[in-house]
Amino acid sequence: MKRIVPLLVIATLSASCLTTRSQLRNNSSQDTYSSQSSAVDEMKVEIARLSEKVEELQKGDGNNRMMDIEKRLTEIENTQMESLSRLKTSDQPQTGKEPVQKFVRGIIAFNSGDYSTAIDKLSEYLAHSKSKNHLQEATYLRGESYFALKRYKKAIVDFSRFPETWTKSRRVPLALYRIAVSFEGLGMKGDAKAFYQDLVARYPKSPEARKAKKALRN
């Protein structure tokens, strides 16, 4: 029964903490879209101006000048096509090594105490990466970042992945302890006690169990 109550509480918190990341992607691509769109508009004006020059020179004797303008016109048209191509792909999900770079930047931010940036980078990594290589590490570090910022509900959701999904992870005792402390931070003493007791019962020899026993005595 002790296990059922904590898991029900976590499920409720998980539902309240769900967020979408489409806004993040839209915001990050908006500046790129505006600048590229402006460049395309300028090229359209230049093409129109040079086209008029070509038509004027075709009526006269300026053959060499006309060839130069036609060459410039072709270059601008090619540049325009490249810009349009980049514009179409600017909001596509990042691929290749980019998600791993987000993970590395998240670790760097976490180690430097910049927990807000760590959360952003690790969340981007977790949203975009198809690999499971760093899934546990990224989730754990994001949970620690939430915990450090006293965003306890978010921290509980991340830490709960370990006792529920990654049951053989070495971080399960610490995750249970962090969940209990987070519930205390939220003023939910009963739920905190249930997790302290669960920790002591499952990992009695762990350093976290000693802390849990002390918390239960107090």
DSSP string, 43-64: HHHHHHHHHHHHHHHHTSS-HH
3-state secondary structure of 174: helix
Residue 107: which domain range?
99-149
CA nearest to 54, candidates 74, 35, 38: 74
How big is the chain, counted in residues? 218
Does 82 lie in the same domain as 70? yes
Single out the residue in 89, 117, 134 at which a domain terminates.
89
Output the pLDDT for position 111. 97
Single out the residue in 49, 71, 89 at which a domain terminates.
89
CA distances for 43 relative to 40, 55, 71, 178, angstroms: 5, 18, 15, 57
Structure letter (DSSP) for residue 133: T
Does 41 lie in the same domain as 67? yes
Single out the residue in 149, 164, 187 at which a domain terminates.
149
Output the pLDDT for position 27. 47
Question: pTM for the complete prediction?
Answer: 0.59
Does 161 lie in the same domain as 141? no
Split at pLDDT 50, 70, 90, the class of 143 is: very high
Split at pLDDT 50, 70, 90, the class of 60 is: low
Split at pLDDT 50, 70, 90, the class of 132 is: confident
Does 145 lie in the same domain as 159? no
**pLDDT greater at residue 44 or residue 146:** 146
Does 216 lie in the same domain as 171? yes
Cα-atom radius of gyration of the chain, to the nearest Å? 28
Asked whether residue 99 carries a pLDDT value surpassing 90, the answer given is: no
Split at pLDDT 50, 70, 90, the class of 91 is: very low
Which amino acid is present at 145? S
| Residues with Cβ within 8 Å of residue 54, at least 6 apart in sequence | 66, 69, 70, 73
The reply to whether 5 falls in a domain is no
Output the pLDDT for position 4. 44
The count of structural domains within the chain is 3
The reply to whether 45 falls in a domain is yes
